[in-house]
């Protein structure tokens, strides 16, 4: 049995158990997300093995990919750190038990209060722009920070096939550009004036970005660090945060590219990264969790319109926002299952897989060939462990679905509630308090 077949068989086994145990039920819980915790441990193990350096490498999971606190806590138990991009994600990282020195704070819009909190905790900070750097100067007031602080640089190398996922373009909103006239020199001077700037950060993008582009961006960051350190008895820059962004194969179960393939590119384009002169931080998110999660939803109705079969399911824009609004960039596989969770067989029929939201574009797939679906059947969306059910969109006041962690032990499949299904709005209107209204 190949790895691809094993992945599909594992999803079917989990789905059958979910139906048997009432975790997925057409009347009470017609939609749910599942995180394969055993698969997650395997993926994190592969990440640790791919990178040399042992304790000098901190793999900080990008919390935006799946910010559910029990999932973050599981990643912490597996030896990962946490990268956060908002004050809310910082709260979740702390709730999950991450120590401040294993948290990295990235954001292009950090508030004064957020920076003050991060500095007081000793959270690592990647500065996005010169104005933020001046704000930190004010907050430090000449003191030496507890936090490790670096600057995000934009190598301006170009983008990949998905513009929204490309962050090293000429006009990217992220980081300080290295190629703009005078910008590199100004940044070098900023480092010389602030001996506490000891890190450099870069991130070229994620889905749709080739590994070579990502590695070349890291090479630019290391080259900048070498320029800062040149002529010094002791190096000032001692760490490189290389970001994350490893693309995910959404076309099949094969895990490609792997972390080892990216490390090969890094060795080719920037061997100095692994010279031992630098600590390393990574910020992988989608590549850690996407393939270790899936969404399952019951089919409520089926119909035909204009000769096209349509299956209306409970999974749509609220859990697959990117796919619904940008299907060409974010296509998802869909597998058909019977009411018991078993894979459905039969002659494929061209059909639309629709979600529950009240607008015509709420489609998970158009004209997709699948065994003919019937009410009570189940559709599965593989590869949705990151950015899908963990990041719900509240269109039509559709509730957040329950999410379960899954562990297997021999023949036993155990479900652990990660997030309960959102309770329906009960119609209670909170009373206004004095001062709640602003009179104009």
pLDDT tens digits, residue range 380-428?
999 999 999 999 999 999 999 999 999 999 889 999 999 999 998 777 7
pLDDT at 439 over 50: no
Within 122-182, residue ranges assigned H as helices are: 130-140
pLDDT at 438 over 80: no
- Extract the tokens encoding 390: 């963990």
SS3 18: helix
- Distance in angstroms (rounded) separating the CA atoms of residues 280 and 56: 6
**198-212, 265-279, 302-316 — which is least confidently predicted?**
198-212
pLDDT at 435 over 80: no
- Most confidently modeled range among 180-189, 198-207, 431-440: 180-189
Mean predicted confidence (pLDDT) in 91-96: 98
Query: In whole angstroms, what separates CA 209 from the centre of its chain?
Result: 15
How far apart, in Å, do the first and last CA atoms of the chain sit? Answer: 71
Which pLDDT band holds residue 1 (cuts at 50, 70, 90)?
very low
Q: Burial-class residue 434 by CB neighbours within 10 Å (0-12, 13-18, 19+).
A: exposed
SS3 26: coil
Q: Which residue in 375, 252, 244, 400 sits closest to 303, CA to CA?
A: 375
- Extract the tokens encoding 233: 């008895």
417 vs 163, which has greater pLDDT? 417
pLDDT at 208 over 50: yes
Mean predicted confidence (pLDDT) in 161-190: 88
pLDDT at 333 over 70: yes
- Distance in angstroms (rounded) separating the CA atoms of residues 324 and 14: 26
Mean predicted confidence (pLDDT) in 176-183: 94
Identify the pLDDT of residue 171.
Answer: 80
CA distances from 48 to 54, 68, 264, 292, 420 (A): 8, 22, 14, 17, 31
Identify the pLDDT of residue 170.
Answer: 78
Q: Do β-strands 348-354 and 363-371 pair in parallel, antiparallel, or remain unpaired?
A: antiparallel
Domains of the chain: 3-34+292-419 (2.40.37.10), 37-289 (3.20.20.10)
- Distance in angstroms (rounded) separating the CA atoms of residues 233 and 371: 69
- Distance in angstroms (rounded) separating the CA atoms of residues 207 and 314: 27
Q: Which residue in 39, 66, 15 sits closest to 418, CA to CA?
A: 66
Identify the pLDDT of residue 158.
Answer: 80
Which pLDDT band holds residue 54 (cuts at 50, 70, 90)?
confident
Identify the pLDDT of residue 66.
Answer: 98
Query: In whole angstroms, what separates CA 21 from the centre of its chain?
Result: 29
Which pLDDT band holds residue 432 (cuts at 50, 70, 90)?
low
Identify the pLDDT of residue 2.
Answer: 40
Q: Which residue in 347, 399, 395 sits closest to 373, CA to CA?
A: 347
Altogether, the residues listed in the chain come to a count of: 440
- Extract the tokens encoding 317: 């824009």
- Distance in angstroms (rounded) separating the CA atoms of residues 117 and 84: 13
Which pLDDT band holds residue 433 (cuts at 50, 70, 90)?
low
Identify the pLDDT of residue 290.
Answer: 98
- Extract the tokens encoding 346: 């039969």
pLDDT at 168 over 90: no
Mean predicted confidence (pLDDT) in 257-269: 97
- pLDDT, the chain, mean: 94
Mean predicted confidence (pLDDT) in 159-172: 80
pLDDT at 159 over 80: yes
Within 10 angstroms of residue 111's Cβ, the number of other Cβ atoms is: 12
């Amino acid at each position: 049995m190949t790895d691809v077949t094993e992945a599909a068989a594992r999803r079917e086994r989990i789905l059958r158990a979910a139906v048997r145990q009432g975790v997925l039920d057409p009347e009470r819980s017609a939609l749910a997300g599942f995180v394969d915790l055993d698969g997650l441990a395997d993926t994190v193990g592969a990440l640790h093995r791919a990178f040399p350096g042992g304790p000098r490498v901190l793999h900080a999971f990008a919390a935006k990919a799946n910010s559910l606190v029990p999932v973050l806590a599981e990643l912490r138990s597996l030896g990962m750190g946490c990268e956060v991009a908002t004050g809310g994600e910082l709260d979740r990282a702390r709730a999950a038990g991450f120590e401040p020195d294993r948290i990295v704070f990235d954001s292009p819009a950090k508030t004064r209060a957020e920076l003050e909190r991060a500095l007081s905790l000793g959270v690592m900070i990647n500065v996005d722009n010169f104005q933020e750097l001046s704000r930190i100067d004010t907050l430090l007031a000449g003191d030496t920070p507890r936090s490790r602080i670096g600057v995000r640089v934009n190598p301006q190398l170009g983008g990949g096939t998905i513009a929204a996922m490309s962050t090293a373009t000429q006009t990217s909103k992220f980081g300080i550009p290295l190629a703009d006239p005078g910008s590199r020199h100004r940044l070098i001077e900023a480092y010389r004036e602030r001996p506490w700037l000891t890190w450099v950060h870069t991130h070229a993008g994620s889905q749709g970005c080739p590994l070579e582009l990502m590695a070349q961006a890291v090479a630019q960051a290391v080259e900048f660090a070498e320029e800062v350190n040149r002529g010094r008895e002791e190096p000032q820059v001692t760490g490189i945060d290389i970001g994350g962004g490893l693309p995910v194969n959404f076309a099949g179960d094969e895990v490609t590219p792997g972390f080892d393939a990216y490390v090969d590119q890094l060795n080719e384009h920037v061997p100095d990264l692994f010279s031992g002169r630098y600590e390393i931080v990574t910020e992988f998110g989608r590549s850690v969790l996407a393939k270790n999660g899936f969404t399952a939803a019951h089919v409520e109705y089926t119909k035909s319109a204009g000769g096209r079969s349509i299956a209306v399911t409970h999974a749509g824009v609220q859990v697959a926002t990117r796919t619904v609004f940008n299907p060409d960039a974010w296509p998802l596989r869909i597998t058909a299952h019977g009411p018991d969770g078993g894979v459905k067989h039969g002659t494929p029929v061209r059909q639309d897989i629709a979600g529950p939201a009240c607008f015509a574009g709420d489609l998970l797939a158009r004209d997709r060939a699948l065994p003919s679906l019937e009410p009570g059947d189940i559709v599965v969306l593989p590869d949705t462990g990151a950015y899908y059910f963990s990041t719900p969109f509240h269109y039509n006041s559709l509730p957040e679905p329950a999410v379960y962690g899954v562990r297997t032990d021999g023949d036993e499949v155990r479900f652990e509630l990660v997030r309960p299904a959102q309770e329906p709005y009960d119609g209670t209107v909170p009373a206004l308090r004095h001062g709640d209204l602003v009179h104009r």
